[in-house]
Amino acid sequence: MIFYVMKILLGSGGHTPTDRKRALVHEIQSFLGSTIERFLFIPYALQDWDYYAECFKELGLAAGYHLDSIHKAPDPKQAIASAEAIYIGGGNTNRLLSRLYEFDLVETVRERVRAGIPYIGLSAGSNVACPTTQTSNDMVIMVPPTFKALSLVPFQINPHYHDHPENPGLRAETRALRIQEYLEENPNETVVGMREGSVLRINDDNLTLGGNNGIRVFYGPEIGKQPEDFWPEDAISFLLK
């Protein structure tokens, strides 16, 4: 087995209300520290890249660091090669993955992160850190060449996870049911449902849960475990194995 030295921070998104954004900014600042001054932002999950980069700054989600957007770079691969850190924002996961393949950046990003460059992903940026993007909530508005993604973590993520249907008076389908259907076809996998405001932080072989909300972990039938809830300070490094 190849051992990679990785620093990864994955957020569900949902940076409003203010307490969630404050918690996320704190996690980013703690994660990147004071030795890093700037990060490379990848805005491909939205259509208007200029707007996205500026909006990110205005919302304070750059957490006080200098933001360089990859779409401004004359050579995207070189921008990744020289970046201090990589930050991929949310939006439509299928559009994001399609653009990463279109610009031939999947392997470049993967290699840099596996070599130790810090990686931050929010929502769609968390989805592409998984083996595939098949547990995204997003419409397939673009069809990527494959749903295989960066494989930075060994489990799947469902961002914006919530426990109940939006209209409980109706016979509504739940997010848990959608995840169950995925696991019926992928029985030896694990899916982490990240509630709004939850943050996963990886430092080599150590995985911790931060932010101000918890996660629900779903296991495929071959694993043989019932879904479990975890909260900040719970031990969850077993998910990396």
Residue 203 lies in a domain: yes
Domain range for 80 is 7-240
Catalytic residue among 26, 71, 160, 162: 160
Instruction: Enumerate the H helices of 115-230 as residue ranges.
Output: 124-127, 175-185
Q: What is the number of domains present in the chain?
A: 1
129-171 per-position pLDDT tens digit = 999 999 999 999 999 999 999 999 999 999 999 987 666 665 6
Catalytic residue among 69, 98, 136, 138: 138
96-138 per-position pLDDT tens digit = 999 999 999 999 999 999 999 999 999 999 999 999 999 999 9
Residue 65 lies in a domain: yes
Residue 23 lies in a domain: yes
Residue 237 has pLDDT above 90, yes or no: yes
Quote the pTM value: 0.95
The CATH number for 208's domain is 3.40.50.880
Residue 218 lies in a domain: yes
State residue 164's pLDDT score.
Answer: 72
Residue 2 lies in a domain: no
- Residue 165 CA from chain centroid, whole number: 23
Instruction: Enumerate the H helices of 84-174 as residue ranges.
Output: 93-102, 106-114, 124-127
229 is known as an active-site residue: no
- To the nearest whole number, what is the mean pLDDT of the chain? 94
State residue 20's pLDDT score.
Answer: 85
138 is known as an active-site residue: yes
Catalytic residue among 123, 126, 136, 198: 123
Query: How would residue 16 be classed by pLDDT, with cut points 50, 70 and 90?
Result: low
Residue 15 lies in a domain: yes
State residue 1's pLDDT score.
Answer: 43
Query: Which residues, in sequence order, are CB contacts of 81 under 8 Å at separation 6+?
Result: 108, 112
28 vs 39: CA distance, rounded Å: 11
234 is known as an active-site residue: no
Residue 1 lies in a domain: no
32-59 per-position pLDDT tens digit = 999 999 999 999 999 999 999 999 999 9
